[in-house]
Structure 1
Amino acid sequence: MSGAVRRRLVGVLALCSLLLAPAHVPSATAAGVAVPAPPAKSVVTWAASADRTGEAAGDRSYRLIVRTSVGGTGLRVRVSNAFGDRPLVIGSAYAGLRESGARLRPGTNRRLGFDGSASVTLAPGEIRYSDPLPGRVAAMSDLAVSLYVREAGGPATGHGMALQTSYATGGNHAARERDGAYTERLGSWFYLDAVTVEAERGAGAVVTLGDSITDGWQSGADRNLRWPDFLARRLHGAAGSTVKGVANAGISGNQVLADGAAQSALKRLDRDVLSLPGVRTVVLFEGVNDIKSHTGVTAAALTAGYREIIDRSHAAGLCVIGATVLPFKGWSEWDPQEEAVRAEVNEWIRTSGAVDAVADFDKVLRSPYDAERMLPTFDGGDHLHPNDKGMQAMADSVALKSLECARD
């Protein structure tokens, strides 16, 4: 899969009659989940990696609030039953612009179809794209995707730590633009794992593959202050950049090598990164959870995992930026042995030549007085996760030209 794709159009969501999408051809991933082929000409504008998220329940409506990065036409949503053990029936789905809370901007909520039908049944493990909606959605828009889940049970598929308030209610209220029915506030996204648009010709996207730091822990909730959000704003304002889409593939607690907090990065790479349309570059920023887990992981083992991710990404036509592991002295699990592993891993990222470029987050955030600690002005308070200033410093340090890399 090449990373280069096509149309960016900025405007307001003005949606009309439904267009039909071609049939999807599923492909097996390393994790055993069937992922549909990405829509032609599409670029991912938002994503959140899926995991098991509580118990599923039927006859419920979810109003899920997400932030676009690249603008364009032909909006689609990707719905997921990747971790379900029984069929998931979505009775209706809508997309519109959020005005405030769960209230939508009048006249913007439009029905999404699935191969021409208003409803869709996802088998256990299945992922599906909606049909495209005509009209345009602007970059940096608050989009509300409303799903009425008619039948569900067993494990729910979603993204646990959204740091974005979404809403839920009993019954079918997906079509409603007013917020009165949506009395339940949610801190997770359910069943939605990506949104795509047809962007301007030549536009592409970057995926940030990471753990809780990328997921945004310690950043301000409901304010889009994760470091990938800051990066999206930089790219939006960069006249010379053709990379405009940003997909956040961070999961809190995630590791490169081992399952635990979600599937390992190695297992989820195909579904969460390589299957997304329009991706040109991957920022690989994981490893601290492997190092601090006291499993005895070595630098050699961790960099071998990195190399597999790099090789698979390269084989898919994507470039890889390696981000150095942040200092975490002061965190309860820190010890000198783990610090030695971190230093060796970071040296490999900087000097091995395995990655196409380096984002030296360690250098940006570490203290000049103690390189094993985060600078206090960037420390979120637990000595592991950056605060909002640290998130912005990381995003500001990424060389935008490095995201333009192409391996075609």
Structure 2
Amino acid sequence: MTRRHGYALLSAITALIVGLSAAIYASAASDHGPGLEARAAGPAEVPGPGSAAPISTGVWVGTWAAAPVSGEPGTATDGMAGRTVRNVVHTSVGGTSARVTLSNLYGVGPLTVTHATLAVATGDGSAAAVADSLRRLTFGGATTVVVPPGGQTVSDAVTVAVPSDSDVLVSTYSPTSAGPVTYHPHARQTNYVAEGESTEDVTGAAFTGAGEYWRYLTALDVLSNRADGTVVALGDSITDGVTSTAGANRRWPDVLAGRLRASVADGGDTPRYGVVNEGISGNRVLTDDSRHGAAALNRFERDVLGRTNVKAVVIDLGINDILRDPGLADPQAVVDGLRTLVERAHAHGIRVIGTTLTPFRGHRGYSDGRENVRQLINQAIRADAVFDTVVDLDRALRDPYDPRSLRPEYDSGDHLHPSDRGYRKMARTIDLTELDGPAPARL
């Protein structure tokens, strides 16, 4: 072989390796998502598919997210094979480009997605899209992606004007079953299903099936010049907003996002953050549950560190460690678990805001012993021995005449979960300025 032919062959091999590496990076499954890479990258110019020109400038932030909880009951055999899933999600901040994360965490076979689209919704609660906003999604430049069981994939960026405080439609079609569908129940949002491949249907007419689940989709990121980072709300059903008005986006993280947008618009000296909700109903700090997801200790890397450009996390967890323990929970173990979460956040420069646990007298799980455990956990939290800063939700929501109970107007009626008014009070109790700043050094 001549030297010239040798150089040509080496160049061809190098080009092939680079091409394969780019495709693998864009579509390979992982447990973490783009968060750590995005945090390191900072401001970015991201080229659109098939174009060498930058689509925009700004910072990648999370505008919406939902934690994968488990495999959807009844989908073990057929999954969603031969159907189009249209998820409806609500943005906290807007941007000029978008990308999504799809998860096959609970599938037992490969999830093959042959068609996927993103569009801005018409905003009437239906499956209809603003026609000129619909974009076909690609993964490593291809319209088809295969997500291994237990994995996830991040789409390429698409250029699209995504408004803040608006609904976005993400549609996926899979011709075959991957087994149980990775889903998030209690979405408090109507989502849609169509028979056959209907990802580019902007009328929504094909989407005759409806339900309150998010399927496969776990994150929506935007390239934004309106935000500098992301704040994650990590919690249980109270963060999930299970008793908030469906379709109205009145969970406390939604209200927090609205407060941040309003403050920025008014020129307030507050952080410019997107807000993502990583609440799971029934979730605990210490213990995994097949119906209520991995414990916070076991999902923190995925649901907090794995999100994009995270600057702060608000943790409201521990009430289910009390309620779901058949005996009496060890308050010190719960507090130690919370401290571990804080240490992991600090290792990545993330500020941690913690909340006290709210009252639940009158709930079917209440007992004086469990109330004592709650008081001991709150005592440790208030002593400033756990979090960087504390939001005292117990004091904000409790009945002044019966501090073991929720104030009546903040009670949804089950004596555990807040009403819409209670969720609004929670969000308004958070000092927005406390979300900003570096994680304090711990001695």
Match of 1:23 in 2: 25
Conservation of the 8 A alpha-carbon contact between 1:34 and 1:125: no
Matched, 1:259 2:292: no
**Residues 188-209 of structure 1: CA deviation (Å, up to 9, x unaligned):** 0000000001122761111110
- Aligned pair partner of 1:86 in 89, 105, 109: 109
Stretches of 4+ aligned residues off by more than 3 angstroms: 24-28, 33-41
Q: Distance in 2 between matches of 1:34 and 1:348?
A: 31
Shift of 1:21: 8.5
Q: Distance in 1 between matches of 2:67 and 2:370?
A: 28
Match of 1:58 in 2: 81
Match of 2:48 in 1: none
Worse-matched range after superposition: 197-206 or 183-192: 197-206
Match of 1:72 in 2: 95
Label 1:375 to 1:251 Cα distance change in 2 as closer, same or farther (>3 A): same
Match of 2:148 in 1: 123
Conservation of the 8 A alpha-carbon contact between 2:382 and 2:390: yes
Q: Secondary structure at the match of 1:373?
A: strand
Q: Secondary structure at the match of 2:131?
A: coil
Q: Distance in 1 between matches of 2:255 and 2:24?
A: 35
Label 1:21 to 1:406 Cα distance change in 2 as closer, same or farther (>3 A): farther
Normalised by the size of structure 1, how large is the TM-score?
0.91
Conservation of the 8 A alpha-carbon contact between 1:38 and 1:276: no
**Residues 207-242 of structure 1: CA deviation (Å, up to 9, x unaligned):** 110011110111100000101111111011112323
Aligned 1:360-379 pairs, distance under 5 A: 360-379=392-411
Worse-matched range after superposition: 194-203 or 55-64: 194-203
Q: Secondary structure at the match of 2:207?
A: coil
Label 1:178 to 1:190 Cα distance change in 2 as closer, same or farther (>3 A): same
- Aligned pair partner of 1:281 in 312, 317, 321: 312
Read off the aligned partner of 1:221 and give its amino acid letter.
Answer: A
Match of 1:44 in 2: 62
Match of 2:14 in 1: none
**Residues 262-316 of structure 1: CA deviation (Å, up to 9, x unaligned):** 1111111111111101111111101111111234311101001101111111111
Q: Secondary structure at the match of 1:392?
A: helix
Conservation of the 8 A alpha-carbon contact between 1:299 and 1:345: yes
Label 1:272 to 1:336 Cα distance change in 2 as closer, same or farther (>3 A): same
State the percentage of identical aligned residues: 39
Label 1:310 to 1:72 Cα distance change in 2 as closer, same or farther (>3 A): same
Q: Distance in 2 between matches of 1:368 and 1:219?
A: 23
Conservation of the 8 A alpha-carbon contact between 1:38 and 1:275: no
Aligned 1:62-211 pairs, distance under 5 A: 62-99=85-122, 100=124, 101-200=126-225, 203-211=228-236
Conservation of the 8 A alpha-carbon contact between 1:206 and 1:281: yes
Read off the aligned partner of 2:170 and give its amino acid letter.
Answer: V
Label 1:34 to 1:228 Cα distance change in 2 as closer, same or farther (>3 A): closer
Label 1:102 to 1:401 Cα distance change in 2 as closer, same or farther (>3 A): same
Match of 2:17 in 1: none
- Aligned pair partner of 2:338 in 282, 306, 319: 306
Q: Distance in 1 between matches of 2:205 and 2:94?
A: 29
Higher relative contact order by CA 8 Å / sep ≥ 6: 1 or 2?
A: 1
**Residues 291-346 of structure 1: CA deviation (Å, up to 9, x unaligned):** 11234311101001101111111111101101110000001111111111101101
Worse-matched range after superposition: 73-82 or 200-209: 200-209
Read off the aligned partner of 2:67 and give its amino acid letter.
Answer: S
Read off the aligned partner of 1:108 and give its amino acid letter.
Answer: S
Label 1:202 to 1:229 Cα distance change in 2 as closer, same or farther (>3 A): closer
| Structure 2 gap ranges (5+) | 1-21, 42-58
Identify the structure with the greater helix proportion: 2
Q: Secondary structure at the match of 2:294?
A: coil
Conservation of the 8 A alpha-carbon contact between 1:206 and 1:243: no
Q: Distance in 2 between matches of 1:283 and 1:191?
A: 25
Conservation of the 8 A alpha-carbon contact between 1:169 and 1:184: yes
Conservation of the 8 A alpha-carbon contact between 1:61 and 1:147: yes
Q: Secondary structure at the match of 2:300?
A: helix
Q: Secondary structure at the match of 2:175?
A: strand
Shift of 1:71: 1.2
Read off the aligned partner of 1:85 and give its amino acid letter.
Answer: V
Label 1:214 to 1:34 Cα distance change in 2 as closer, same or farther (>3 A): closer
**Residues 37-60 of structure 1: CA deviation (Å, up to 9, x unaligned):** 544441100000002223123111
Match of 1:244 in 2: 273
Normalised by the size of structure 2, how large is the TM-score?
0.84
Label 1:366 to 1:123 Cα distance change in 2 as closer, same or farther (>3 A): same
Conservation of the 8 A alpha-carbon contact between 2:26 and 2:155: no
Q: Secondary structure at the match of 2:133?
A: coil
**Residues 86-126 of structure 1: CA deviation (Å, up to 9, x unaligned):** 10011111111111301111211110110100111000111
Conservation of the 8 A alpha-carbon contact between 1:46 and 1:68: yes
Q: Secondary structure at the match of 1:74?
A: strand
**Greater CA radius of gyration, 1 or 2?**
2
Q: Distance in 1 between matches of 2:250 and 2:333?
A: 32
Matched residues, number: 385
Q: Distance in 2 between matches of 1:295 and 1:48?
A: 31
| Structure 1 gap ranges (5+) | 1-19
Match of 2:9 in 1: none
Q: Distance in 2 between matches of 1:135 and 1:172?
A: 22
Label 1:207 to 1:123 Cα distance change in 2 as closer, same or farther (>3 A): same
Read off the aligned partner of 1:281 and give its amino acid letter.
Answer: A
Q: Distance in 1 between matches of 2:26 and 2:347?
A: 22
Label 1:26 to 1:349 Cα distance change in 2 as closer, same or farther (>3 A): farther
Conservation of the 8 A alpha-carbon contact between 2:66 and 2:219: yes
Q: Distance in 1 between matches of 2:332 and 2:27?
A: 38
Match of 1:402 in 2: 434
Conservation of the 8 A alpha-carbon contact between 1:243 and 1:403: no
- Aligned pair partner of 1:292 in 309, 319, 323: 323
Label 1:160 to 1:332 Cα distance change in 2 as closer, same or farther (>3 A): same
Matched, 1:230 2:262: no
Read off the aligned partner of 1:380 and give its amino acid letter.
Answer: S
